[in-house]
Amino acid sequence: MSEHDQIIVLDFGSQYNQLIARRVREQGVFCRIFPFNHDLEEIRKIQPKGIILSGGPSSVTAKGAPLPDPGIFELGIPTLGICYGLQVTAHLLGGRVDPSEEREYGNAMLRQTGEESPLFEGLTPEFKVWMSHGDRVNQLPDGFKAIGVSDHSPYCAVANSETGRYGVQFHPEVVHTPDGATILGNFVKKICGCNADWTMGNFVDDQVATIREKVGGKKVLCAVSGGVDSSVAAALMAKAIGDQLTCIFVDNGVLRHGEGEKVQTVLRDKLGINLIFIDASDRFLGKLAGVTDPEKKRKIIGNTFIDVFDEEASKIGEVDFLVQGTLYPDVIESVSTGGPSAVIKSHHNVGGLPEKMNLDLIEPLRELFKDEVRKVGLVLGLDEDLVFRQPFPGPGLAVRILGEVTRERCDLLRKADKIVVDEFKSSGWYGKVWQSFAVLLPVQSVGVMGDERTYENAAAVRVVESQDGMTADWVDLPAELLRRISNRIVNEVKGINRVVYDITSKPPGTIEWE
């Protein structure tokens, strides 16, 4: 990505570090996140136009506090410290940071001091910001001036315009700072001088060239699941190398309604991708028979997928590369910042594909966030219905069927889930929420249908709103929509006679039931 101007974010453990990168990218400027102690020479090689030091939970005066190589301030490029990043800047450049008697959390008003600064160009003399800090800067390094104050922060925003050093005690990346996008835009464009040329169209062109150079005339294999990430990865690879790509889609018996047909229509028929469709539903469901433990279900599905994929791959002949739909959050989360942030998970391996295949890995989407992947999908001509579909768990309906997974119970849930999806789309709610789906419960209850008593299954409807799936709130839906969903499921799905609505947030619950 060196042909694009870029900003790098040094991560000091902030819960908002991904948000900083997203906000910079929204300005049309490429941005990547590195641990706070990233090697200075590596940073020099990247040649970023600017560096943002993130917030974090630590105190710069504490023993073992995370600090970057001070050489970042000698690279001759602008820096912006956010919250803890401001305190790091002051601490390393000769200022003083102390615990604050008046801690600031939540909304505050910043008042500009009258010192003109390009960081606040276009903003009113006073504006709302979002604070979250215990320490504060009490003495500025030489050459710095206050450009903003708040009731409890004499140095709420500071600048050394000669050296290009800036710092803010608030968080411009969160929505609670309404002018935050303008502030970050001023930093990356006016102060760092970045060209706003980071577009998904340019990304596609860059990746096509990179993929062609890497692959040459060799063959590439890609597992597709029907989800957004793998479908976009496959479409991007196909644009780059055409017939050198072979995709494998495995029907594991726990897919959503019409999933297999949809994938074949989009990838094979519309995009002309060489797609192998494997119906292994009997094999998967046979292994799942009698199993009720959620973790065992996951392992069975994962291991069986590896076996099926490996068998089919061996029939193709010599293949050199394997494509995975890894996204940037997966990359970030798999790299420890070396102190302030724990490793959230080991390296993301989509589908858990076998290492023994000994193939070189291609991850064409590893620089992108989810919303950017969707934009790439549109650029590549994928259907909006596929591009904007909601997340779906890897083990599929198996974790939405509590208890034993059978073909009959899968069919029941597929019908109920299709009704939920159809109603959400027709009502305009589908794109407003993170996920909306049905769950089949291991519970039977008495009901009355016509003049007869019934004793049939119960289903739960789960609808949540979320930014990233890490936390989620249940959605207060219109009663009429819930009534319509319930009536349709009970009337149209023989075998379900009761519908309940899940009003549990995450935490304490999870989005999926298993």
Active site residue 83: yes
Closest CA to 246 of 266, 227, 226, 223: 223
The single residue of 31, 83, 194, 410 carrying the catalytic annotation is 83
Burial class of residue 149 in the structure, from the number of CB atoms within 10 Å of its CB (0-12 exposed, 13-18 middle, 19+ buried)? middle
Handedness of CA 474, 479, 480, 485 (dihedral sign): positive
How many angstroms separate the CA atoms of 19 and 40, rounded?
A: 24
List of residues 6+ apart from 253 with CB closer than 8 A: 280, 281, 282, 284, 285, 288, 407, 410
Q: Which two tokens stand for residue 112?
A: 């500009």
Task: For 458-476, give the DSSP string.
Answer: EEEEEEEE-SSSSSBEE--
CB 167 within 8 A of CB 81: yes
What 3-state DSSP class applies to 137? strand
Return all residues near 147 (Cβ < 8 A) that are at least 6 apart.
Answer: 112, 113, 115, 117, 119, 120, 157, 158, 159
The strand pair at 435-449 and 274-279 is best described as unpaired
Instruction: Name the residue type at position 181.
Output: A
* Rounded (to 5) percent helix, strand, coil in the chain: 35, 25, 40
Cα–Cα distance measured from residue 487 to residue 498, given in angstroms and rounded to the nearest whole number: 9
Residue 499 DSSP SS3: strand
Q: Is 45 exposed, middle or buried (0-12, 13-18, 19+ CB in 10 A)?
A: exposed
Asked about 171 being catalytic, the answer comes back as yes
Candidate list 38, 91, 104, 173, residue with the active-site label: 173
For 311, list phi and psi in degrees, rounded to 5: -65, -45
Catalytic member of 38, 91, 133, 171: 171
Assess contact for 221 and 323: CB atoms under 8 A.
Answer: yes
Q: Is 332 exposed, middle or buried (0-12, 13-18, 19+ CB in 10 A)?
A: buried
- Name, in order, each residue with C-beta under 8 angstroms of 1's C-beta and a sequence gap of 6 or more: 30, 206, 367
Cα atoms found within 13 Å of the Cα of residue 514, Cβ hemisphere only: 25
On the CB side of 64, how many CA atoms lie within 13 Å of its CA?
4
Q: Which two tokens stand for residue 231?
A: 């479908």
Residues annotated as catalytic (active site), given as ranges: 83, 171, 173
